[in-house]
Amino acid sequence: MLEAQNIMYLPGVGPKKADVLGKEIQVFSWEDMLYYFPYKYIDRSKIFKIREIDGNMPYIQLKGKIRKYETIGEGRARRITGQFYDETGSIELVWFKGLKSIPNMYKIGEEYVLFGKPAVFGGKINVAHPELEKESSVLTQQIGMQGQYSTTEKMRDVFLNSLALRKLVALIFKNYQGTIPETLNATIISKAKLIDLDTALRNIHFPQTPALLRDAEYRLKFEELFYVQLNILRVTKYREQRLGGLIFNQIGEYFNNFYKQNLPFELTNAQKRVIKEIRQDVCTGRQMNRLLQGDVGSGKTLVALMCMLMALDNGYQAALMAPTEILATQHFETIKELLFGLDIDVRLLTGSTKKKDRNVLLPDVQSGKVQILIGTHALIEDNVSFANLGLVVIDEQHRFGVAQRARLWKKNAIPPHVLVMTATPIPRTLAMTLYGDLDVSVIDELPPGRKPIKTIHMYSGKRFNLYESVRKQLKEGRQVYIVYPLIEESEKSDLKNLTEGFEHTKEIFPEYEVCMVHGKMKPAEKDAEMQKFISGDAQIMVATTVIEVGVNVPNASVMVVESAERFGLSQLHQLRGRVGRGADQSFCILLTHYELSEVTRKRLSIMTETNDGFIIAEEDLKLRGPGDIDGTQQSGVAFDLKIANLAKDGQILSLARDLAKEVLEDDPALQKSENTILEQQLKKLNQGKSGWFMIS
| Residues of the shown chain interacting with ligand ADP in the complex, contacts defined by CB under 6 A | 265-268, 271, 294, 296-302, 423, 447, 552
Taking the C-alpha atoms of 271, 273, 279 and 281 in order, what is their torsion angle to the nearest 10 degrees?
-120
Least Å distance, CB 301 to ligand ADP, is 3
Cα gap 96→571, rounded to integer Å: 43
Least Å distance, CB 433 to ligand ADP, is 24
Taking the least distance from each CB to ligand ADP, the nearer of 328 and 646 is: 328
Taking the least distance from each CB to ligand ADP, the nearer of 252 and 554 is: 554
Under a CB-based contact definition with an 8 Å cutoff, are residues 444 and 270 in contact? yes
Least Å distance, CB 126 to ligand ADP, is 58
Cα gap 377→400, rounded to integer Å: 9
Taking the least distance from each CB to ligand ADP, the nearer of 270 and 542 is: 270
Taking the least distance from each CB to ligand ADP, the nearer of 10 and 392 is: 392
How many other C-beta atoms are found inside a 10 Å radius of the C-beta of residue 386? 21
Residue ranges in 446-597 assigned as alpha helix (H):
463-475, 492-508, 523-535, 569-576
Q: Let me know the angle formed at the C-alpha of 317 by 316 and 320, rounded to the nearest 5 degrees.
A: 140
The b-or-e profile of 250-287 (16+ CB within 10 A means b, else e) is eeeebbebbeeeeeeeebbebbebbbebbbebbbeebb
- The helix (H) or strand (E) run that includes residue 80 is strand 79-86
Angle between helices 598-609 and 613-624 (to 10 degrees): 170
Least Å distance, CB 267 to ligand ADP, is 5
Cα gap 323→327, rounded to integer Å: 7
Distances (CA, A) of 415 to 385, 410, 418, 422, 650: 13, 7, 9, 21, 32
Taking the least distance from each CB to ligand ADP, the nearer of 499 and 555 is: 555
Least Å distance, CB 271 to ligand ADP, is 6
Exposure of 575 by Cβ count < 10 A (0-12 exposed, 13-18 middle, 19+ buried)?
buried
How many other C-beta atoms are found inside a 10 Å radius of the C-beta of residue 596? 16
Describe the strand order of the beta sheet including 479-483 as a list of residue ranges: 454-459, 587-592, 556-561, 479-483, 540-543, 514-517
Taking the least distance from each CB to ligand ADP, the nearer of 267 and 615 is: 267
Give the residue at shortest CB distance from ligand ADP: 299
Taking the least distance from each CB to ligand ADP, the nearer of 262 and 635 is: 262
Taking the least distance from each CB to ligand ADP, the nearer of 94 and 615 is: 615
Angle between helices 650-666 and 210-242 (to 10 degrees): 50
Taking the least distance from each CB to ligand ADP, the nearer of 131 and 295 is: 295
Least Å distance, CB 266 to ligand ADP, is 6
Looking at the DSSP bridge assignments, the partners of residue 374 are 320, 348
Least Å distance, CB 488 to ligand ADP, is 27
Taking the least distance from each CB to ligand ADP, the nearer of 297 and 626 is: 297
Under a CB-based contact definition with an 8 Å cutoff, are residues 144 and 43 in contact? yes
Cα gap 92→103, rounded to integer Å: 14
Strand ranges in 350-437 using DSSP code E only, listed in sequence order? 372-375, 389-395, 417-422
Least Å distance, CB 580 to ligand ADP, is 10
Least Å distance, CB 542 to ligand ADP, is 23
Taking the least distance from each CB to ligand ADP, the nearer of 348 and 361 is: 348
Least Å distance, CB 422 to ligand ADP, is 10
Of the candidates 575, 570, 569, the one whose C-alpha atom is nearest the C-alpha of residue 551 is 575
Least Å distance, CB 304 to ligand ADP, is 8
Of the candidates 310, 334, 338, the one whose C-alpha atom is nearest the C-alpha of residue 322 is 334
Taking the least distance from each CB to ligand ADP, the nearer of 267 and 638 is: 267
Least Å distance, CB 293 to ligand ADP, is 10
